[in-house]
Structure 1
């Protein structure tokens, strides 16, 4: 709900300041990566074909979308840790949306395995560019994902667990079933209800279908209305590594995919809460790994 009152601003900023020590503490107590881990840095670009608006408006016939990302990752035998940043212009050109359309997200976290238990955790900040430019920040900027699994036994490939995130809209907890296996045909990972992934031997090809969704804190152009934007979709992508990378030359991975049932929810100052289905769109991607 949109709230422009002074008390809401003070309470939101206080909540954000309290959340920062919690994020720092979680980074300090996180289990360190194992020795002899591999590290890599990546750059990513993804571009979608234009989305059609669900209604015929002369002021907004299509919505353009792209994504730029970079990050650092460290991978070990029983743990991984990474820092990721992405910038995603979502050019909404109708009504008076309570944000400027430039979405930034910075997260850190990873995965840790200990005996029968597996923990997946990420935390960070996500919001519009005017919020960070003018340091006018409210509590919705703090974001995260958390999932905990337990294997059925020491020899089982199946784990049961629970996870909480914004993949399906507002933050919610869902039961999860995880299955992972490697054979001569490649590596399989199934994490119901959010992910199905296959990698070919040598990781030359990868096919991935996953549920994507997150929340960005927003401000209107006058920086008076504090709200949030939610973006969710089913994303399917096939990638191929066309260059292995040698020395200072990066590995090059190209991909093609589709975003299906893309939905966006935000506060429109003219009409109230907008909950739109943008439909489906194809996209292409390019990733460089060092």
Structure 2
């Protein structure tokens, strides 16, 4: 049986902390949705599968097993001249079979949002729910399930490729605000996007090839098997991936994009029922991906 005697006070504290982080995100997402958008645009639906090489357990333990990881995702996006808006869902099994983790390793995430350009300003915002499968199955949510990321930029001048701004997200662990520098340039050699300190991307002419180096990280709300311990899992890494579009798609046939890459300095932080909070470096792993676009 769960002890409810201290629950109202505990929930009040956690909700207050969550609101302090999510309120700026809600405000900027509302502003972004209110920005003028063009009527003409194109829609895209996608399916994605990504598989990582197994991670070796970072500590010496007689019964330790490898940590397996994969990702399934789908989403819809509407693109226009002023920006885009979409809905994304992904399921990411992270199977940690060592110790007594206070989560079941089945991570679900549903988010909505996009990016918009208005004169010298650019807004990027996403919000949604992220948590373990038992949380969605039994509808037992706590405040860590609310999640999102946001960034706002201002170009240094009219027509300038350089923008300065600030962004807040979980890419480096707990939610934090970081200064951002964004530079974008297109030429006959392709399209370059540098968004320091989180991403570098190059796309070839006609978007056949793409090389992407980015900081990836997020938070999932967790529940243990008995649904008594409410906590959070943080997963973060540096990811490099080269993709190639082998088929452009036609009518009902999807475009097919294959990818090969690596995750570097992958870390996971979570609650263990016996050992307390663990912050482990899983290490480096190769990955492969396949994406279908309609």
Same fold (TM over 0.5): yes
Aligned match of 1:91 = 95
Alignment root-mean-square deviation, CA: 2.3
- 2:11 and 2:232 map into 1 onto residues whose CA distance is 17
SS at structure 2 position matched to 1:65: strand
Aligned match of 2:175 = 171
C-alpha distance 156-32 of structure 1, shift in aligned 2 (>3 A): closer
Q: In 2, are the aligned partners of 1:9 and 1:138 still within 8 Å (CA)?
A: no
- 2:129 and 2:16 map into 1 onto residues whose CA distance is 13
Q: CA deviation at 1:35?
A: 1.6
Aligned match of 1:220 = 224
Q: CA deviation at 1:58?
A: 3.0
**Unaligned segments of structure 2, at least 5 residues:** none
Counterpart check, 1:130 vs 2:131: no
Matches within 5 A, 1:1-290: 5-7=6-8, 10-11=11-12, 26=30, 29-31=33-35, 33-290=37-294
After the TM superposition, which segments of 4 or more aligned residues of structure 1 sit over 3 Å from their partners?
8-20, 25-33
What does the per-residue CA deviation read over 1:239-275, in whole Å, with 9 as the maximum and x for residues that have no partner? 0000110100000000000000000000101001100
- 2:92 and 2:81 map into 1 onto residues whose CA distance is 32
Count the aligned residue pairs.
286
- 2:152 and 2:242 map into 1 onto residues whose CA distance is 28
C-alpha distance 28-161 of structure 1, shift in aligned 2 (>3 A): closer
With normalisation by structure 1, the TM-score equals 0.93
Q: In 1, are the aligned partners of 2:32 and 2:123 still within 8 Å (CA)?
A: no
